[in-house]
Amino acid sequence: MSQNKTFIDFHEALLRLSHRSDFINDNRSRKLAALSELAGQLLQVERVSFWKMNPEDNRIDSEVLFRLGQGHDYHPIVLTAGDNPDYFRALRTARVIDAGNARDDYRTRDFNEKYFKPLGIHSLLDAPIFDGGRLSGVICLEAETPRTWTLPEISFATAIADTVSLINTHEAWIRSQKQLDYVTHYDSLTGLPNLQSCRERIHTLIQKMSRRQDEGFTLLWIDLDRLKAINDGMGAAGGNRVIAEIANRLRNLYLEGRDKLARIGGDEFAMLIRHQGNADLKLDHLVQQIQHAVSDPIVIDDRTLRMTASIGVCQYPRDGLDTEALLRSGEAAMYHAKESGRARMQTFHSDLHSTARSRFALESELRQAISQHTLDVFYQPIIEAGSQAMVATEALVRWNHPQHGWMSPIEFLDVARNAGLMQELGESVLRRVCLDHQEAARRGHDLPTTAINLAAEQIMDDRLPRVVAGMLDEYGINGHQLQFEVTEDAIKGDSKSMQGTLNELVALGCNLSIDDFGTGYSSLSRLKHLPFSRLKIDRSFIRDIPDDADDCAITLSILGLARGLGMQVVGEGVETEEQRQWLTVQGCNLLQGYLFSKPVPIEALLEYSDRRLHSAL
């Protein structure tokens, strides 16, 4: 048979196999088994195997071995670069290794004593396999007699290797799709489905049940009570541990007819219960089970907490015929339960919509407030401990809602985050701060540096430095007049992109500060490589000093860390003279809290500055 005919026959056989529907839909292991058997049978090679390269490129592990006349063997075999350096050097060049006499070939002779001779191998043909642009493995054909590999055989081995490379590419695409689906539909803290996933499931259930008159479902909107107090007392990390624990309890709770559980907000969950006919008779029992699961004691850092939940209830089709109507009804019922005294259940009725603060209405109103620049910024002074002079301020966003009056961030930041508005919100605050600095300078006031909080979404956006530079230029502000605060959790990824963004902000003249220090994930190794010049001790450690020995020890350790890194320290949440005196004696050079001033509008800040100036004179 001519080499051309052999070449064509080999490749036609590979095409027939790789285009079979059962092959396409099979798993990786069975695909490799089929390819190795095809190569062994067509080339009459005693051994055909696939090997996987480790990420360090210094070891290969067998995935499957086909032995002619004996079938497949999945017994693991490991070969290392330390024992076979010439082979690995040749493999890394990503070229075919055609060793007709493998025992003498300089690339493969290191295998003789431990591999070739015990197995009776004389000839070897290897072709590289890729995963994207990375060498990820090899197909290995091993003959028990000396053999000169022909061009059709080498081409066929390479084509099989390329087929596996395509399988790798497809698997990587599948993994990326799953990761994208996870990010889109699941909550990173709890692993539960998120609001988007809940919306999609409600829509699916409505489509199914609109054709079945005797079926419906109940939406339970579960809001944890008093989580803000836990965040204030134990920090955001403590609050997250409570949320994760409650999520796990709800996940493991058996309820008849339960369809889906989702985390739909910071401290809010939704549960869907399917039922036939009237579900009111079972509703009280369901709610009791949920409340019992939520209220069991939670122990965090030797503190025992007891949680409760306010639960809003609505039903399809009685309380809404589409997804958004049901969500609005469930949320309205939950708010009424919370306003009625917490730890309560409220079923929906039509009058509730007129009084409830709907998340979805707030989302639309917040979007409008951001676009029209109607959000306000209040400023809280940061005081130098010795002179008690105001040396900086922190900018804190506020919203004077047309119906609800003044709203603090705790009331609308979750709405902004779930609506994807954090970047726009951050830019709105930055613009207002720059405008206030410009206006203060026009009136003859020299405002101190203003600290602005950055959300994680802003830090991971590489456009942020350009936005800041543009506003500095637009309002005639120097970079040193701004300081950006980020929480420890926001920098836990420590990616090159994030580091680049932080360094660009510093290059503009801005300073950087770590907010709520001590509650997140910072490490010494990360801090010393990031361009931060200041850190804030979280208020949860300040609250009980000087009486709490543990909080005093933690605060002293943070002060020592900061001194070692050459960083300034702000003690926030200072409310008593005893706290001020203790922090001052211990060397905490900057203080912030209600003892000095609450957050105030810009006009009140200018008056505060004038009073401090006159008192100093």
CATH value at residue 396: 3.20.20.450
Domain assignment of residue 19, yes or no: yes
Strand bridging mode 97-99 / 123-131? antiparallel
Higher pLDDT, 176 or 254: 254
Residues 351 and 390 in one domain: no
Q: Comparing 150-159, 345-354, 366-375, which segment has the lowest mean pLDDT?
A: 345-354
Residues 448 and 563 in one domain: yes
Checking 462-466 for CB contacts under 8 A at 24+ apart, the result is 462/497, 462/500, 462/501, 464/501, 464/504, 464/505, 465/501, 465/504, 465/505, 465/507, 465/508
CB 72 within 8 A of CB 48: no
Question: Pick from 356, 371, 398: which residue ends a domain?
Answer: 356
3-state secondary structure of 548: coil
Domain assignment of residue 49, yes or no: yes
pLDDT (0 to 100) of residue 614: 46
Residues 342 and 367 in one domain: no
pLDDT tens by residue, 174-198: 776 666 666 678 888 888 998 888 9
Residues 152 and 210 in one domain: no
Structure tokens at 570: 């702000």
pLDDT at residue 616 above 50? no
Higher pLDDT, 230 or 247: 247
pLDDT tens by residue, 364-390: 888 999 999 899 999 999 999 888 889
CB 191 within 8 A of CB 269: no
Q: Comparing 135-149, 167-181, 324-338, 381-395, which segment has the lowest mean pLDDT?
A: 167-181
pLDDT (0 to 100) of residue 521: 42
Domain assignment of residue 190, yes or no: no
Q: What is the mean pLDDT of residues 295-305?
A: 85
pLDDT (0 to 100) of residue 460: 77
Q: Comparing 474-483, 520-529, 552-561, which segment has the lowest mean pLDDT?
A: 520-529
pLDDT (0 to 100) of residue 338: 81
Residue-averaged pLDDT of the chain? 85
pLDDT (0 to 100) of residue 420: 77
Domain assignment of residue 188, yes or no: no
| 335: enclosing H helix or E strand | helix 323-339
| 310: enclosing H helix or E strand | strand 309-316
pLDDT (0 to 100) of residue 560: 85
pLDDT (0 to 100) of residue 522: 47
Whole-angstrom distance, CA of residue 95 vs CA of residue 491? 42
pLDDT (0 to 100) of residue 544: 84
pLDDT (0 to 100) of residue 609: 67
Percent of all residues in the chain with a pLDDT value above 90, rounded to a whole number: 33
Count structural domains, the chain.
Answer: 3
pLDDT at residue 356 above 70? no
Name the pTM for this structure.
0.51
Higher pLDDT, 262 or 214: 262
Percent of all residues in the chain with a pLDDT value above 70, rounded to a whole number: 90
Residues 54 and 145 in one domain: yes
Question: Pick from 129, 152, 183: which residue ends a domain?
Answer: 183
Residues 115 and 141 in one domain: yes
Higher pLDDT, 446 or 229: 446
pLDDT tens by residue, 98-124: 998 999 998 998 888 888 999 999 999
Residues 424 and 539 in one domain: yes
pLDDT at residue 592 above 90? yes
Question: Pick from 289, 324, 356: which residue ends a domain?
Answer: 356
pLDDT tens by residue, 521-549: 444 555 667 788 888 888 878 888 898 88
Domain CATH number, residue 280: 3.30.70.270
Domain assignment of residue 189, yes or no: no
Residues 242 and 280 in one domain: yes
Structural domain range at position 124: 3-183
Instruction: Tell whether omega for the bond before 76 is within 30 degrees of 0, i.e. cis.
Output: no
Residues 154 and 238 in one domain: no
pLDDT at residue 477 above 80? yes
Residues 220 and 170 in one domain: no
Structure tokens at 399: 């919203």
Q: What is the mean pLDDT of residues 586-605?
A: 90
- Which of 231, 235, 221, 241 minimizes the C-alpha distance to 337? 221
pLDDT tens by residue, 18-71: 888 888 888 889 999 999 999 999 999 999 999 999 888 888 999 999 999 899
Domain CATH number, residue 10: 3.30.450.40
Maximum average pLDDT range among 148-162, 180-194, 264-278, 492-506: 148-162
Residues 69 and 141 in one domain: yes
> In 10 A of CB 22, how many CB atoms?
9
pLDDT (0 to 100) of residue 456: 78
Residues 428 and 526 in one domain: yes
Q: Comparing 179-183, 199-203, 372-376, 570-574, which segment has the lowest mean pLDDT?
A: 179-183
pLDDT at residue 483 above 90? yes
Domain assignment of residue 317, yes or no: yes
What is the residue-wise DSSP string for 565-610? HT-EEEEE---SHHHHHHHHHTT--EEESTTT---B-HHHHHHHHH
pLDDT (0 to 100) of residue 280: 61
